[in-house]
Amino acid sequence: MEKIDKHSDEIEVKSDEKKHGEKIELDEDRLPSRAMAIHEHIRQDGEKELERDAMALFWSAIAAGLSMGSSLLAKGIFHVQLEGVPGGFLLENLGYTFGFIIVIMARQQLFTENTVTAVLPVMQNPNWGNFALMARLWGVVLLGNLLGTAVAAWAFEYMPVFDKETRDAFVNIGMDVMKNTPQEMFSNAILSGWIIATMVWMFPAAGSAKIVVIVLMTWLIALADTTHIVVGAVEIFFLVFNGTVHWSEFIWPFALPTLAGNICGGTFIFALLSHAQIRNDMINTRKAEEKARAEAQINSDKGAEKKHKR
């Protein structure tokens, strides 16, 4: 038992709440703004993700990578079946949403979706322990996602499941991504990272409409022809296994610029702005709580003093 407790302490997020044994309530009436309530909801989810066991994260991330293969699968099938149909472009890109729906509704670990929540606890308490936990989460999830997408792409290429038209559609989809220069990969990835982060920010208020939010936001990513490190990995891995592109082309011009863009757009720019908008609210709330505690302590001391005099 002692070993287990020690391990759990090692992966515990360092925060003021845990230091004082308190937890911020998510009652909107007790918080200065709706934005702060959403921020706290996401931040607390982020703390849970940071504290999860590494192997649990890894297997969940592999499952997410496999699930994201359904985006290429659906988009490829739609590409073949809707060829020449008016408005086919809109419906074809709807296939892009399938993987996100599966991954998010199944609570699997997806880089740029679950990992963006982990940034808020670090921004609130930027210390080396929290930075290390965030780096651990990012590394484990990204590795698991890429392994899962590689397995999915390998299966699409080597298992006798799809006809020639569908396999050609997979190639065309991947080559559309590879037409981008490294600078375009990076810029497009900033936009997709931002949209994913916006989607995460909307979840607490979405309620039963969560799946609608997922469809609309990820459909927008596809329609804008942006790049995403996990969905794109399935598409480019298929080209690699197909022999259309070399392994080195997966790393550059695709993976490195896309990963950097997703991190910049979703993790740093959006999370920084989201944290900045409620930072003063948090400071004022803490000041009010400290003032209330101080007044309560003074009243308690005065009461004890009067009792002592009697």
> For residue 283, is it within any domain?
yes
Identify the pLDDT of residue 15: 58
> For residue 59, is it within any domain?
yes
Highest mean pLDDT among 4-8, 193-197, 247-251, 262-266: 247-251
In this prediction, residue 201 has a pLDDT band, given cuts at 50, 70 and 90, of: confident
Q: Which two tokens stand for residue 6?
A: 């020690």
> For residue 269, is it within any domain?
yes
Cα separation, 224 vs 152, whole angstroms: 25
> For residue 3, is it within any domain?
no
Identify the pLDDT of residue 111: 94
> For residue 13, is it within any domain?
no
> For residue 10, is it within any domain?
no
**Number of domains present in the structure of the chain:** 1
| Preceding peptide of 121 cis, ω within 30° | no
CATH of the domain at 133: 1.20.1080.10
In this prediction, residue 115 has a pLDDT band, given cuts at 50, 70 and 90, of: confident
Is the overall model pTM greater than 0.95, yes or no? no
> For residue 122, is it within any domain?
yes
Contacts of 209 (CB under 8 A, 6+ apart): none
pLDDT digits (tens, 9 = 90+) for 140-180: 999 999 999 999 999 999 999 999 999 999 999 999 999 99
> For residue 5, is it within any domain?
no
Question: What is the extent of the structural domain holding 129?
Answer: 25-309
